């Protein structure tokens, strides 16, 4: 299968930083896949997106889009092929939702061409998909955070791209809209063979919807592959520094954070691991089972 994005031995460091934001990173995003990028705050997720989009250039290594160095693409050509949804953005002047979504057609219009029938159809279709048609005449500034994010996705879909790149797209959404957002992305991947690359802190939704996960830890790849291979207890606890247990939902691994144990009695104890430090398999397993029961029951 061909690659939508590929990064080979990429190193990137911000000016003045002691450590690189990304160090010796290699990845391959198959075309037509749903690819999720995970990791704690500061692990390099947003930096990686900027490198994939050609906004930043690596200190060493190379980034490809559609088998070409991403730096060799013009910004207009990239905009015709890649729709981007940022986590947030500033609106410099008052515009309506319809005007914002219409901006998605700019890469196809050029400087002098006015929108035609196909352009208007793409705009209306994108607004319907993202359930923002009822807000069409409202100023973007009057929308809630979740409504504004859905309008941004509609703008990206109006571009009719074959690749979508999204940075924390559901951070402001309630449960219903978060689920419908991921369902929409999955539908684009399944019905239109679009490539979807999403950065998210929602590990469990990523595991349910994505074909492959990339887990970053301080700028390095901690694990990459199918969700079941990436989200093991050992890997998640090492990267997030928190005790967890792994369950399953519809065949996808689901991460359940646990309350850390207190040892030593009183207030001077240290937080232990999920299995009591793994000292003795049988004893640790028993304590873990009792802990899960207590947490499930809402006890201390």
Per-position DSSP letters for 231-250, written without gaps between them: --HHHHHHHH-S-EEEEEET
Flag the least confident range among 21-25, 138-142, 294-298: 294-298
Buried b / exposed e over 81-110, threshold 16 CB at 10 Å, is: bbbbbebeeeeeeeebbbbbbbebbbbbee
169, 34, 152: which is closest to 95 by C-alpha? 152
Q: Which residues contact 273 (CB under 8 A, 6 or more apart)?
A: 237, 243, 260, 261
Model confidence at 79: pLDDT above 60: yes
pLDDT band at 11 (very low <50, low <70, confident <90, very high): very high
pLDDT digits (tens, 9 = 90+) for 192-248: 899 999 999 999 999 999 999 999 999 999 999 999 999 999 999 999 999 999 999
**pLDDT of 269:** 36
Average of per-residue pLDDT values in the chain: 86
Rounded Cα distance between 143 and 160, Å, is: 24
Beta-bridge partners for 200: none
Q: Where in the chain is the domain with CATH 3.40.50.300?
A: 3-235
Q: Distance (Å, rounded) from C-alpha 207 to C-alpha 16? A: 36
CB 250 within 8 A of CB 51: no
Q: What is the pLDDT of residue 88?
A: 72
- Total residue count of the chain as it appears in this document: 300
pLDDT value at residue 170: 87
Write the DSSP symbol of residue 20.
Answer: -
Q: 60-65 and 212-217 as β-strands: parallel, antiparallel, unpaired?
A: unpaired
- Band the pLDDT of 108: cuts 50, 70, 90: confident
Contact by Cβ (8 Å): 169, 181: yes
**Which residue's structure tokens are 């301080």?**
218
What was the pLDDT predicted at 249?
A: 94
Least confident segment among 7-11, 162-166, 212-216, 283-287: 283-287
For residues 70 and 250, give the distance between their C-alpha atoms in angstroms, rounded to a whole number: 37
Q: Could you give the count of Cα atoms lying within 13 Å of 282 in the half-sphere of its Cβ?
A: 0
Give the pLDDT of residue 172: 74
With H, G, I as helix, E, B as strand and everything else as coil, classify residue 293: helix
**Average pLDDT for 14-26:** 94
Model's pTM, two decimal places? Answer: 0.82
Does 87 have pLDDT greater than 70? Answer: yes
Dihedral sign of CA atoms 104, 201, 251, 146 in order = negative
The position carrying tokens 């509609």 is 154
Q: Which two tokens stand for residue 73?
A: 């693409």
Q: What is the mean pLDDT of residues 137-149?
A: 89
**According to DSSP H, which parts of the chain are helical?**
45-52, 75-81, 97-102, 106-109, 117-129, 145-158, 175-192, 203-209, 227-230, 233-240, 281-297
CATH superfamily of 3-235: P-loop containing nucleotide triphosphate hydrolases (3.40.50.300)
* pLDDT for residue 264: 45
């Amino acid at each position: 299968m061909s690659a939508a994005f590929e990064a080979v031995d990429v190193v990137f460091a911000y000016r003045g930083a002691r450590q690189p934001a990304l160090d010796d990173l290699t990845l391959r995003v198959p075309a037509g896949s749903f690819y999720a990028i995970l990791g704690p705050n500061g692990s390099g997720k947003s930096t990686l997106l900027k490198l994939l989009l050609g906004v930043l250039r690596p200190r060493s290594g190379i980034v490809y889009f559609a088998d070409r160095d991403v730096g060799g693409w013009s910004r207009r050509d990239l905009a015709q092929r890649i729709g981007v949804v940022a986590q947030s953005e500033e609106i410099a002047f008052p515009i309506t939702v319809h005007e914002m979504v219409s901006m998605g057609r700019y890469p196809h219009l050029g400087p002098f061409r006015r929108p035609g029938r196909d352009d208007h159809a793409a705009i209306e279709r994108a607004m319907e998909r993202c359930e923002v048609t009822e807000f069409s005449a409202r100023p973007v500034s009057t929308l809630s955070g979740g409504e504004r994010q859905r309008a941004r996705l509609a703008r990206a879909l109006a571009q009719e791209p074959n690749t979508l790149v999204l940075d924390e797209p559901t951070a402001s959404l309630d449960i219903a809209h978060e689920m419908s957002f991921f369902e929409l992305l999955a539908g684009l991947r399944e019905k239109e063979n679009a490539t979807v690359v999403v950065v998210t802190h929602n590990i469990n939704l990523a595991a349910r919807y994505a074909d492959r996960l990339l887990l970053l830890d301080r700028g390095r790849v901690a694990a990459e592959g199918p969700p079941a291979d990436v989200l093991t207890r050992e890997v998640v606890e090492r990267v997030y520094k928190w005790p967890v247990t792994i369950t399953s939902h519809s065949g996808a691994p689901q991460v359940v954070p646990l309350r850390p144990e207190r040892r030593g009695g009183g207030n001077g104890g240290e937080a232990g691991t999920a299995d009591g430090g793994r000292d003795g398999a049988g004893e640790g397993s028993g304590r873990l089972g009792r802990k899960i029961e207590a947490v499930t029951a809402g006890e201390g």
